[in-house]
Structure 1
Amino acid sequence: MKDKVFKIITISVVVVIAACCLFPFLHVLAVSFSDKTAVIRGEVLLWPQSFKLSAYKAVFNNKGLMDSMWFTLILTVVYTVFSLIMTILCAYPLSYPGLKLKSPILLYILFTMYFSGGMIPGYLNIKSLGLLDTFWVLVFPTMLSTYNMILMKSFFQAMPRELEESAYVDGANDFVVLIRIVLPLSKAMLATIALFYAVSRWNGFMDAILYINDESMYTIQLRLRQMIQASQVSSMMEEIPEMKADLIAETIKAACMAFSMIPVMIVYPWLQKYFVKGVMIGSVKG
């Protein structure tokens, strides 16, 4: 009886949390596909009223928004690849128990997790390196996450050392062991870490605000922020005169937000099975 009550409470809590996450998303989608009259009257909740595609036509006809989308896609791919490489190269050596100066090195890396130089010293450092208004300023400064590195390190430590030792007996070096044995067995963790990096880069905009002035390198999130805060929504309505009567700022903003979610919605189902395995690593021992 106690187990049934516990399961009912657990399921109820999970359903409520899931609803809190899902309902705002459904509302944004509903507004983006609805007629402006229904939106103005407040009739749109979770289902579109008088289905319209005018807001999405305005979004796809906006060159600045489309350029930012493609730029952010390329940036996210490059950032994720570089971040994975850095995380692996940092975590793999630290997973060896016999590594010299392992504790001081790990402490030095962990220090950056709790303390930083601050925004102004960070900006001055980036400026002195000549990275302002460059592609790489959105890649290099946050390329390694200490938290993700610790997850990867813990996973490598849990792998049977016998597999690596047998490869060493056959004449393999450290690089071959990493590429041929360790990484193929780490697909779940690699997919999980890659998803963490990709989502953080896709959603990030603070570094773009600080370091980017060139509009050709605006990320999608920075472009959306600029559009919502400024008067660019009105200019998008002017770009399609024949549909101006069907558009209001609320529907365009909702369409822009939904538009920015498309890549994540496409990629996540492909990585879901690996993601579930990755987040469960370490929860069961035996």
Structure 2
Amino acid sequence: MTTQTLSTPRRLARQRAGIEAGRPVWEEQPSWFGRLSKPVVLALVALLVTFPLYVVVVTSLSTTEAVTRAGGLVVVPRELTIAAYVQLLSGGVVTRALLISTAITFVGTAFSLGLTVLAAYGLSRPGSLLHRPLLFIVLLTFLFGPGIIPSYLVVNALGLIDSYGSLILPTAISAFNLIVMRSFFMGIPGELIDSARIDGAGEFAVLSRIVLPLSKAVVAVVGLFYAVGYWNAFFNAMLYINDNNKWPLQMVLRTYIVQAQVLPTGAGGVTSGSGMGLAPAPSLAIKMAIVVIAVVPVLVIYPFIQRHFTKGVIIGAVKG
């Protein structure tokens, strides 16, 4: 009896402390091992993720002597130089491909996002024309893809071979993004839309003044998905672009990094970097610099959109 009497207040005190700490009453207090292992595991995961990127950045900033001394990828930075970036961004293959990828990303993201918003809003309204058949067709694309040969025949029939339109139109709308945005739109209270219609607002007014201001999170996330997709895409360029001067950056990255081809120098290629008094960068540093240029834009944009992920994607995916 005495043990039970003493243990009950302690148990209640522990439960009260867990509630005050935001922990459910059925969860026990974490052990010292659990509290110690969590930051250690997170630190190891962060190290595994950042270390390869660190090596790539350091190698891209290394001189020929540093790369030769390291026998390849450089881990300890010595004699850093920006010669590789100067050579790549002073005109030529990489500069042209970077401009092409940037233009395709901006134009393609705006085009795809506009089509997805319009289609998702139309499919989210129960009384819209051919609502169920169109939704069934969209869902059917999750199970059956068009295939490479039929897609190429369609693009060829439309006269889009060697055209930048072939990099945007075949992937203009993602069924996944469309379903996520439609589910989010369906979660908007119908009373708001009905009150706007009573006031005389049309469909475009409802979409622009009510639906979109309430859907900034999902629009930002879907826009990021499209932007990353266009920025990283190379397969369509490999299929439909025969002119090397129209290659996007990821196609250049695949050709000169994965296939280990050498970047041309001089006119139309890369400069030597001597115009700024810099020694020519080693080929490995140039390859790693291309990787950095291809990865950094996504790393810079992602932190500004990351806070919208939970509200935009999870809520949109659960509802509907």
The two structures have a TM-score, normalised by structure 1, of 0.88
8 Å Cα contact 1:234-1:249 kept in structure 2: no
TM-superposed CA distance for 1:245, in Å, is 5.8
Provide the rounded CA distance (Å) in 1 between the counterparts of 2:43 and 2:222.
Answer: 26
Which has the larger displacement, 131-140 or 47-56?
47-56
Query: Counterpart of 1:115 in 2: which secondary structure?
Result: coil
Structure 1 residues 156, 238: closer, same or farther in 2, change over 3 A? closer
8 Å Cα contact 1:238-1:244 kept in structure 2: no
Of 260, 265, 272, the match for 1:240: 272
Structure 1 residues 139-150: aligned runs within 5 Å? 139-150=168-179
Structure 1 residues 182, 278: closer, same or farther in 2, change over 3 A? same
8 Å Cα contact 1:26-1:47 kept in structure 2: no
**Residue of structure 1 in register with 2:70 after alignment:** 42
TM-superposed CA distance for 1:234, in Å, is 6.2
Give RMSD over aligned pairs: 2.8
Query: Counterpart of 1:232 in 2: which secondary structure?
Result: coil
- Structure 2: segments with no counterpart, 5+ residues: 1-26
Of 159, 175, 183, the match for 2:204: 175
Query: Counterpart of 2:62 in 1: which secondary structure?
Result: coil
TM-superposed CA distance for 1:98, in Å, is 4.0
TM-superposed CA distance for 1:247, in Å, is 2.5
TM-superposed CA distance for 1:240, in Å, is 1.3
**Residue of structure 2 in register with 1:72 after alignment:** 101
Provide the rounded CA distance (Å) in 2 between the counterparts of 1:8 and 1:279.
Answer: 32
TM-superposed CA distance for 1:138, in Å, is 0.8
- Structure 1: segments with no counterpart, 5+ residues: none
Provide the rounded CA distance (Å) in 2 between the counterparts of 1:65 and 1:250.
Answer: 15
Structure 1 residues 92-241: aligned runs within 5 Å? 92-99=121-128, 101-228=130-257, 229=259, 231-233=261-263, 235=265, 239-240=271-272
Structure 1 residues 83, 7: closer, same or farther in 2, change over 3 A? farther
Larger helix percent: 1
Provide the rounded CA distance (Å) in 1 between the counterparts of 2:36 and 2:179.
Answer: 35
Provide the rounded CA distance (Å) in 1 between the counterparts of 2:270 and 2:93.
Answer: 14
TM-superposed CA distance for 1:244, in Å, is 8.6
Larger radius of gyration: 2
Amino acid at match of 1:251: A
Query: Counterpart of 1:233 in 2: which secondary structure?
Result: coil
Provide the rounded CA distance (Å) in 2 between the counterparts of 1:117 and 1:282.
Answer: 26
Provide the rounded CA distance (Å) in 2 between the counterparts of 1:238 and 1:179.
Answer: 46
TM-superposed CA distance for 1:238, in Å, is 7.7
TM-superposed CA distance for 1:73, in Å, is 0.7
Structure 1 residues 20, 172: closer, same or farther in 2, change over 3 A? same
**Residue of structure 2 in register with 1:4 after alignment:** 30
8 Å Cα contact 1:23-1:46 kept in structure 2: no
Provide the rounded CA distance (Å) in 2 between the counterparts of 1:4 and 1:171.
Answer: 58
TM-superposed CA distance for 1:230, in Å, is 5.4
8 Å Cα contact 1:209-1:222 kept in structure 2: yes
Residues 157-211 of structure 1, C-alpha deviations (whole Å, 9 max, x = no match): 1111111111011111111100111001111111100000000100000000000
Query: Counterpart of 2:166 in 1: which secondary structure?
Result: helix
**Residue of structure 1 in register with 2:315 after alignment:** 281
Identity %: 39
Of 29, 51, 68, the match for 1:23: 51
Amino acid at match of 1:33: L
Q: How many residues align?
A: 285
Query: Counterpart of 1:281 in 2: which secondary structure?
Result: helix
Which has the larger displacement, 84-93 or 229-238?
229-238
